[in-house]
Amino acid sequence: MPALQKPARIVDLSGDFRLRDASIWAEFYGEPHACPKEIAGFVYGLPEAHREKIREAKRVASPGCFATAVLIGCLPLARAGLLRGAVVADCKTGSSGSGAVPGDGTHHPRRSTAFLAYKPFRHQHVPEIRQCLGDVGARDFDLVFQPHSAPLVRGIFASIYATLPRDLSDAELRGVFEDAYGGEPFVRLVEEGSPDVTWVKNTNFADVGFARDGRRVVVFVAIDNLVKGAAGQAVQSMNLMLGLEEKAGLVFPGSHP
């Protein structure tokens, strides 16, 4: 790929360089990887997981929108050794997540009022979620990820269900998330319960909440799929790569009244 030979910093928004294993990429994307020798030169661009690597990188593969939401919900538990066994990520997205090329299952007039599940067990964001969680130390977990098309235009809402290996109080569990995200510029913990996609619409914020019943926990994450899930996160990585203020160009009010 000639463009990759130029001495420029690259933030790639496609899924081409997110996975380090070209055979897994081919399995989930349905064709052989065109440039497998270039994969090793890319850093996975989720700042909440790989900030220092992104600072030093010349090439960054920006995460998928679903992957961003699920990972932000799971990273604190994974780092604390609390992500074990079955993990179910039940996610909803708006019609803007399907790209610019219309098709039977992606055309906005079709999807803007639809509610349906799609790509069970085979969504292309599954392996990048597994890979990144493994990078931060998660072991012995079994991820089930199910996306849905929801009757909205933009936004992703993730409900992530897990069973903790030991019982924690609400305060202890909140402490796990505060330790992970207390200094993060774009992750906000809601006071209690669930965030709302309308609060993050048109912003680079990820809002996180949780509920607990004994060892059972559900983590809620809301992002704008076109900002934190795409272009905004790419700018965040670019700022880190260029030594700029990480929040530069990304702090603006959303559209919620």
Catalytic residue set:
65
Residue 66 backbone dihedrals phi, psi, to 5 degrees: -60, -45
3-state secondary structure the chain: CHHHHCCCCEEECCCCCCCCCHHHHHHHHCCCCCCHHHHHHCEECCHHHHHHHHHHCCEEECCCHHHHHHHHHHHHHHHCCCCCEEEEEEEEECHHHHCCCCCCCCCHHHHCCCCEECCCCCCCCHHHHHHHHHHCCCCCEEEEEEEEECCCCCCEEEEEEEECCCCCCHHHHHHHHHHHHCCCCCEEECCCCCCCHHHHCCCCCEEEEEEEECCEEEEEEEECCCHHHHHHHHHHHHHHHCCCCCCCCCCCCCCCC
| Residues whose CB is less than 8 angstroms from the CB of residue 201 and which lie 6 or more positions away in sequence, other chains included | 154, 155, 224, 254, 255, 256
Estimate to the nearest angstrom the gap between the alpha carbon of 56 and the chain centroid: 21
